[in-house]
């Protein structure tokens, strides 16, 4: 009953992590949705290790997956002799290969994540909590980090049962996350990697950020890939990033750097700025495509469970 | 600044100083860069290389800002000019002192103008006031029966307009002569002010329009005051009652017979047919109705005789007139009751006579004093104090030379009808003058008389009833003396036993008393009425009584010398009650003025005349008026400010 155990642990972890007087990010409604998400995530029994995640890769697992016709080069030990006798055609038995996953979720908590309605950070921490919770419930190693100009807080990957409840620690850290500081995702991801010991057959890094990094998206993606990780990018967007609430003569001030720019806001500026923002998003998506990175661009006003389901259904994280 | 302009508000220097200061301030603000609003964004890198910073856009913005700057300078200039109340120099010299006299008389209720003639007059007066300059002063007054000043000579246009709005129509006859006389009195007040002007707004109906009045008016104003007459009224279309009165036919209070006279007149140029209805009492009970056909301009006098009218209060209404003045389509009358007749009876007790008198005495028609036969000579001093003296079986010696006397069985040396020797036994009535007032409703047929004296008649005597050549009842009438003789002792006849006897006594007393017509109880609207309050009604001199006026107001006024004095402004009925609520007397108030009912447009023979108000249009205006340019300036400034506001908020000028 791992899901139920994990669900009970999640509730307890959320209760431990939350402040009873302050507004809580992970409230009862959040937890109910989290339980539902966990049930939706299909699981398989673990292989040689303790992972319970089933893999669609055909391998040396014991769980039957499917048949396919024999092709030269296949292991003859995999031939299904009964089927050969019955159909007089060779088929091999495909088995699901068990894998041992290390999931590293990095949440951008720079000041720019505070914009939007609701703020982008709110969706980011909820999605991170959900992914971490689903991973922990699958007995994967899960680590979470808050990143900005560097690795601000890091919880190295651990399994659910290692020491004090990992879920509790993750929830507490995400509960306290605030959008402050500058953005330097390249440096931050390197620091996270340096503080996380490598283990498992598969390493997956999920970066949740608005990707408003002066250095652009390419360096950070390359840095993540250089650490031999599979990378999933969840880009949280907000309409407020590209729209100014005032007209006329304004001074724009960067919330992270304090840099200012004079600007006269007109309809033409608004129109152009919208196009520029769309181009930015397209650029991030293009870089991800080129680098083989799964990319999800999700507006901040989308419900977190819808966002998580979209990520899960697209695959690439939990196979 | 043009030489032809002057500043009536802020001085020119102040306007220039404020203009320079404001201009400098606006220019400084214009030259200063507008403070930009600070907006925090998540990533300023997104906003670099904005197209809003292109050269063309910057130039366009500067041009728009300059337009906004020019607009603000224009607004400042307009506001300062408005504060300075700038106007042409010629207008400044036009300050006037204007007397506005508005006719409020009854004819101003005519509806041939929109609303009424008075409404038209008020509109014209308001236009005159609106055309006055700030230096002009005006005095508003109205005239009807009297002149009422409504304001002092002042320049507050609002108060003047309020006074004009407060002018209401009365039912009075316009006394234009009186008004003009008053205007003449006011003229010296005007002379002390620049450009004195008098404006009379009237339909010039009513009295006091003789040429001499106008000439006197013009002389009173003097050459330096130019009167202007503004006529209202468009047509002559009216039929009205110009007189209405009535009287009781008998002194008997129980009598209901009355006689009415009404005069109606057409003030049209075409024949008219109207229905006249006369009603009585507060319930408007119809008592007579008649169709009247009136030729153009003709007057018809209609008499109603022997009408049975129980109530003393009458109303006459002309229906279907289709005219412009409803006020004179109705008139009121009160049937006056004669005061009680005082009767002195000299003679021994005569129950028959006392019975006949008692009925009249109880009804209030008589006050009877009695003296025995022995007091005949002593009663001589009291004869003059009574309306009628009855000698019952006695005959004074010498006979009275003045007064009214009824002799029953006259005889002796003082007999005004010396008797001849012998009596006529059992005379039979053969000749009766039935039409004589003594015998109204009286039948003497089969009268039984034991014996009658042979009276000698003189020339002028009238044998009202006779037995062959022998007079039984004789009437004698002279300038100061009236006498009636009954030639027999009524106790020796069956006359007292007949129902005709009290009627005969009542007729005789009524004929003898020759009652003077009762005091008139009909008054003209607008007049100060002196309403008689007979003391026998219970109100003594000095007592307070309540007077309910036709318009419903109730006044408390004292009765002085049996008369109360009250001003009656409206047509209708007046009720006078004592403080216990008992009705003492009624009175009628009528327009009763053919001159007022004649609505034909008139023009006075002197002064300037025009249909339009002075100072508004026409070259005949007494003085040019100053246009309130400052109002237009403020409105334009407001419009420009609105334009600036809209362009700013639509981001057209920023």
Residue with tokens 């991973």: A135
Kindly report the backbone phi and psi dihedral angles of residue B492, in degrees, each rounded to the nearest multiple of 5, phi listed first. Answer: -105, 35
A253 contact residues in B (CB cutoff 8 A): 38-41, 44
Q: Is B378 a residue whose pLDDT tops 50?
A: yes
pLDDT tens digit sequence for B550-587: 989 999 999 888 888 998 889 999 999 988 888 888 99
Q: What is the pLDDT of residue A144?
A: 94
Q: What is the pLDDT of residue A5?
A: 36
Mutate to test the interface with B, among A181, A266, A274, A279 (most CBs of B within 10 A): A266
Q: Which residues contact B446 (CB under 8 A, 6 or more apart)?
A: none
> Kindly report the CA angle at B607 between B602 and B610, in degrees rounded to 5?
55
Confidence of residue B625 (pLDDT cuts 50, 70, 90): low
Q: Is B540 a residue whose pLDDT tops 80?
A: no
Which of A257, A146, A272 has its CA nearest to residue A209? A146
The DSSP bridge pattern shows strands B137-143 and A202-209 to be unpaired
Q: Which residues contact B440 (CB under 8 A, 6 or more apart)?
A: B503, B507
Confidence of residue B543 (pLDDT cuts 50, 70, 90): confident
Q: What is the pLDDT of residue B374?
A: 92
* B36 CA: distance to closest CA in chain A (Å): 5
Do you find a cis peptide bond into A118, omega within 30 degrees of 0?
yes
Q: Is B616 a residue whose pLDDT tops 50?
A: no
Q: What's the number of CA atoms in the CB half-sphere (13 Å) around residue B220? A: 19
Q: What is the pLDDT of residue B203?
A: 85
Asked if B38 and A242 come within 8 Å (Cβ–Cβ), the reply is no
Which of A194, A200, A129 has its CA nearest to residue A166? A129
Using the Cβ of B650 and the Cβ atoms of chain A, whether some distance falls under 8 Å is answered with no
Question: Which of B:55-94 have CB within 8 Å of A?
Answer: 57, 61
Q: Give, as one character, the DSSP assignment of residue A112.
A: G
Averaged over B273-277, what is the pLDDT?
Answer: 93
Q: What's the rounded Cα separation, in Å, for the pair B591 and B240?
A: 10
The DSSP bridge pattern shows strands B313-319 and B299-308 to be unpaired
Confidence of residue B465 (pLDDT cuts 50, 70, 90): very high
* B67 CA: distance to closest CA in chain A (Å): 17
Residue of chain B with shortest Cα separation from A265: B52
Could you say which of A112, A248, A254 has the minimum Cβ distance to residue B651?
A248
Residue of chain A with shortest Cα separation from B57: A264
Which of B316, B117, B145 has its CA nearest to residue B236? B117
Q: What is the pLDDT of residue B613?
A: 47
* B41 CA: distance to closest CA in chain A (Å): 5
Q: Residue B126's beta-bridge partner residues?
A: none
Mutate to test the interface with B, among A249, A272, A277 (most CBs of B within 10 A): A249
Using the Cβ of B651 and the Cβ atoms of chain A, whether some distance falls under 8 Å is answered with yes
SS3 call for B255 = coil
Q: Is B226 a residue whose pLDDT tops 80?
A: no
Averaged over B209-234, what is the pLDDT?
Answer: 71
Averaged over B357-368, what is the pLDDT?
Answer: 82
Residue of chain A with shortest Cα separation from B38: A251
When mean pLDDT is compared over B84-98, B127-141, B572-586, the highest value belongs to B572-586
Q: What is the pLDDT of residue B587?
A: 92
Residue of chain A with shortest Cα separation from B58: A264
Q: Is B514 a residue whose pLDDT tops 60?
A: yes
Q: What is the pLDDT of residue B621?
A: 38
Averaged over B578-605, what is the pLDDT?
Answer: 84
Q: What's the rounded Cα separation, in Å, for the pair B6 and B88?
A: 6
Angle between helices A2-17 and A120-137 (to 10 degrees): 140
Q: What's the rounded Cα separation, in Å, for the pair B515 and B464?
A: 21
Could you say which of A115, A255, A272 has the minimum Cβ distance to residue B51?
A272
Asked if B39 and A272 come within 8 Å (Cβ–Cβ), the reply is no
Q: What's the rounded Cα separation, in Å, for the pair B513 and B403?
A: 9
Q: Which H or E element spans position A33?
A: helix A28-40
Angle between helices A28-40 and A120-137 (to 10 degrees): 50
Q: Give pTM, 2 decimals.
A: 0.47
Q: Which residue has the higher pLDDT, B210 or A232?
A: A232
B38 contact residues in A (CB cutoff 8 A): 250-251, 253, 260
Q: What is the pLDDT of residue B572?
A: 93
Asked if B45 and A248 come within 8 Å (Cβ–Cβ), the reply is no
Asked if A242 and B40 come within 8 Å (Cβ–Cβ), the reply is no
Q: Which residue has the higher pLDDT, B234 or B7?
A: B234
Do you find a cis peptide bond into B398, omega within 30 degrees of 0?
yes
Q: Give, as one character, the DSSP assignment of residue B223.
A: T
Q: Which H or E element spans position A2?
A: helix A2-17
Residue of chain A with shortest Cα separation from B33: A249
Listing DSSP states for B446-483 in one string gives T--BSEEEEEPP-TT-EEEEEETTEEEEEEEE-SSEEE
Asked if B46 and A241 come within 8 Å (Cβ–Cβ), the reply is yes
Q: What is the pLDDT of residue B623?
A: 46
Helices (H), B32-145: 55-84, 89-92, 117-130
Averaged over B634-644, what is the pLDDT?
Answer: 89
Q: Say if CB A232 and CB A296 are below 8 A apart.
A: yes
Residue of chain B with shortest Cα separation from A238: B42
pLDDT in tens, chain A (319 residues): 333 334 445 555 555 554 444 457 778 878 888 777 777 764 433 333 334 444 444 455 566 777 888 887 778 888 899 999 999 899 988 876 556 788 899 999 999 999 998 999 999 999 999 999 888 887 788 999 999 988 989 999 888 765 558 888 899 999 999 999 999 999 999 898 888 766 556 788 999 999 998 888 889 998 888 877 888 999 999 988 888 878 777 888 999 999 888 887 878 888 888 888 899 999 999 999 988 888 999 999 998 888 888 887 776 566 5
Chain A interface with B: residues with Cβ < 8 Å: 111-115, 210, 212, 214, 238, 240-242, 244-257, 259-266, 268-269, 272-273, 276-277, 280
Q: Which residues of B562-594 are buried (b: 16+ CB within 10 A; e: fewer)?
A: bebebebbbbbbbbbbbeeeeebbbbbbbbbbb
Q: Is B332 a residue whose pLDDT tops 60?
A: yes
Q: Which residues contact B147 (CB under 8 A, 6 or more apart)?
A: B101, B141, B178, B179, B182, B183
Mutate to test the interface with B, among A250, A258, A274, A283 (most CBs of B within 10 A): A250
Asked if B44 and A273 come within 8 Å (Cβ–Cβ), the reply is no
The DSSP bridge pattern shows strands B341-347 and B366-371 to be parallel
- Kindly provide the ipTM of the predicted complex, given to two decimals: 0.76
Q: What is the pLDDT of residue B48?
A: 62
Mutate to test the interface with A, among B33, B38, B44, B652 (most CBs of A within 10 A): B44
* B31 CA: distance to closest CA in chain A (Å): 15
pLDDT tens digit sequence for B147-199: 788 888 888 888 999 999 999 888 888 776 666 666 666 666 666 666 777 88
């Amino acid at each position: 009953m791992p899901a139920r155990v994990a669900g009970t642990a999640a509730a307890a972890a959320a209760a431990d992590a939350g402040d009873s007087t302050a507004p809580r990010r992970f409230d009862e409604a959040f937890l109910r949705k989290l339980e539902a998400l966990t049930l939706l995530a299909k699981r398989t029994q673990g292989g040689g290790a303790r992972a319970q995640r089933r893999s669609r890769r055909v391998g040396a697992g014991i769980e039957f997956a499917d048949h396919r016709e024999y092709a030269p080069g296949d292991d003859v030990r995999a031939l299904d002799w009964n089927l050969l006798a019955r159909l007089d055609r060779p088929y091999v038995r495909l088995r699901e290969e068990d894998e041992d996953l290390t999931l590293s979720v990095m949440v951008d908590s720079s000041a720019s994540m505070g914009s939007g309605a609701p703020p982008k950070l709110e969706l980011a921490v909820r999605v991170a909590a959900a992914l971490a919770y689903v991973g922990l419930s699958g007995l994967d190693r899960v680590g979470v980090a808050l990143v900005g100009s560097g690795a601000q807080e890091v919880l190295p990957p651990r399994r659910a049962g290692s020491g004090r409840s990992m879920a509790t620690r993750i929830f507490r850290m995400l509960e306290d996350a605030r959008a402050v500081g500058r953005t330097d995702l390249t440096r931050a991801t390197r620091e996270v990697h340096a503080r996380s010991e490598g283990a498992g057959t598969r390493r997956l890094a999920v970066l949740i950020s608005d990707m408003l990094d002066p250095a652009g998206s390419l360096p950070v993606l390359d840095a993540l890939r250089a650490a031999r990780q599979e990378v999933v990018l969840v880009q949280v967007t907000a309409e407020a990033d590209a729209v100014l609430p005032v007209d006329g003569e304004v001074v724009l001030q960067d919330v992270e750097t304090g840099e200012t720019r004079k600007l006269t806001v007109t309809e033409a500026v608004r129109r152009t700025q919208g196009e520029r923002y769309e181009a930015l998003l397209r650029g991030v998506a293009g870089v991800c495509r080129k680098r083989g990175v799964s990319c999800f661009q999700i507006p901040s006003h989308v419900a977190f469970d819808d966002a998580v389901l979209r990520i899960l259904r697209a695959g690439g994280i939990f196979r | 600044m043009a030489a032809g302009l002057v500043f009536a508000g802020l001085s020119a220097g102040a306007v220039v100083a404020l203009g320079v200061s404001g201009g400098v301030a606006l220019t400084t603000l214009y030259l200063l860069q507008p403070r930009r609003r600070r907006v925090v964004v998540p990533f300023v890198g997104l906003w670099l290389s904005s197209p809003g910073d292109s050269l063309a856009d910057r130039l366009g913005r500067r041009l728009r800002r300059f337009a906004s700057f020019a607009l603000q300078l224009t607004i400042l200039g307009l506001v300062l000019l408005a504060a300075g109340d700038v106007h042409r120099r010629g207008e400044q010299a036009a300050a006037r002192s204007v007397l506005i006299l508005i006719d409020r008389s009854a004819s101003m209720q005519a509806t041939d103008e929109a609303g009424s003639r008075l409404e038209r007059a008020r509109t014209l007066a308001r236009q005159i006031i609106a055309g006055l300059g700030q230096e002009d002063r005006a005095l508003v007054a109205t005239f009807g029966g009297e002149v009422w000043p409504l304001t002092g000579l002042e320049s507050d246009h609002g108060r003047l307009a309020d006074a004009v709005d407060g002018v209401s129509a009365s039912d009075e006859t316009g006394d234009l002569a009186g008004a003009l006389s008053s205007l003449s009195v006011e003229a010296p007040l005007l002379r002390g002010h620049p450009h004195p002007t008098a404006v009379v707004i009237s339909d010039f109906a009513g009295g006091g329009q003789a040429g001499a009045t106008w000439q006197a008016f013009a002389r009173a104003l003097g050459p330096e005051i130019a009167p202007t007459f503004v006529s209202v009224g468009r047509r002559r279309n009216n039929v009205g009652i110009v007189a209405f009165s009535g009287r009781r036919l008998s002194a008997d209070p129980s009598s209901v017979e009355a006689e009415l006279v009404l005069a109606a007149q057409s003030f049209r140029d075409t024949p008219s047919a109207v229905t006249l209805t006369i009603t009585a009492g507060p319930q408007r009970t119809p008592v007579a109705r008649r169709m009247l056909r009136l030729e153009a301009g003709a007057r018809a006098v209609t008499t109603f005789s022997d009408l049975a009218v129980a109530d003393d209060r009458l109303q006459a209404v002309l229906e279907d007139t289709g005219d412009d003045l409803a006020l004179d389509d109705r008139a009121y009358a009160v049937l006056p009751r004669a005061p009680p007749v005082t009767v002195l009876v000299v003679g021994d007790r005569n129950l028959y006579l006392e019975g006949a008198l008692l009925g009249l005495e109880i009804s209030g028609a008589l006050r009877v004093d009695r003296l025995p036969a022995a007091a005949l000579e002593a009663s001589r001093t009291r004869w003059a104090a009574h309306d009628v003296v009855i000698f019952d079986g006695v005959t004074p010696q010498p006979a009275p030379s003045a007064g009214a006397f009824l002799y029953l069985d006259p005889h002796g040396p003082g007999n005004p009808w010396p008797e001849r020797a012998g009596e006529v036994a059992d005379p039979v009535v053969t000749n009766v003058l039935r039409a004589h007032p003594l015998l109204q409703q009286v039948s003497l047929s089969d009268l039984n008389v034991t014996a009658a004296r042979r009276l000698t008649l003189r020339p002028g005597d009238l044998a009202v009833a006779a037995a062959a050549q022998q007079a039984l009842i004789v009437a004698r009438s002279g300038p100061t003396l009236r006498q009636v003789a009954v030639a027999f002792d009524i106790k020796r006849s069956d006359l007292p036993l007949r129902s005709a006897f009290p009627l005969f006594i009542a007729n005789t007393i009524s004929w003898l008393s020759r009652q003077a017509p009762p005091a008139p109880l009909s008054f003209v609207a607008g007049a100060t009425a002196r309403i008689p309050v007979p003391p026998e009604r219970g109100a003594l001199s000095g007592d307070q009584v309540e007077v309910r006026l036709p318009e419903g107001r109730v006044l408390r006024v004292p009765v002085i010398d049996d008369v109360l004095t009250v001003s009656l402004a409206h047509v209708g009925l007046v009720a006078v009650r004592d403080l216990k609520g008992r009705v003492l007397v009624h009175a009628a108030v009528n327009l009763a003025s053919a001159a007022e009912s004649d609505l034909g447009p008139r023009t006075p023979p002197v002064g300037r005349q025009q249909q339009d108000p002075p100072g508004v249009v026409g070259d005949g205006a007494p003085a040019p008026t100053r246009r309130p340019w400052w109002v237009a300036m403020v409105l334009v400034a407001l419009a420009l400010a609105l334009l600036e506001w809209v362009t700013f908020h639509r981001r057209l000028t920023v």
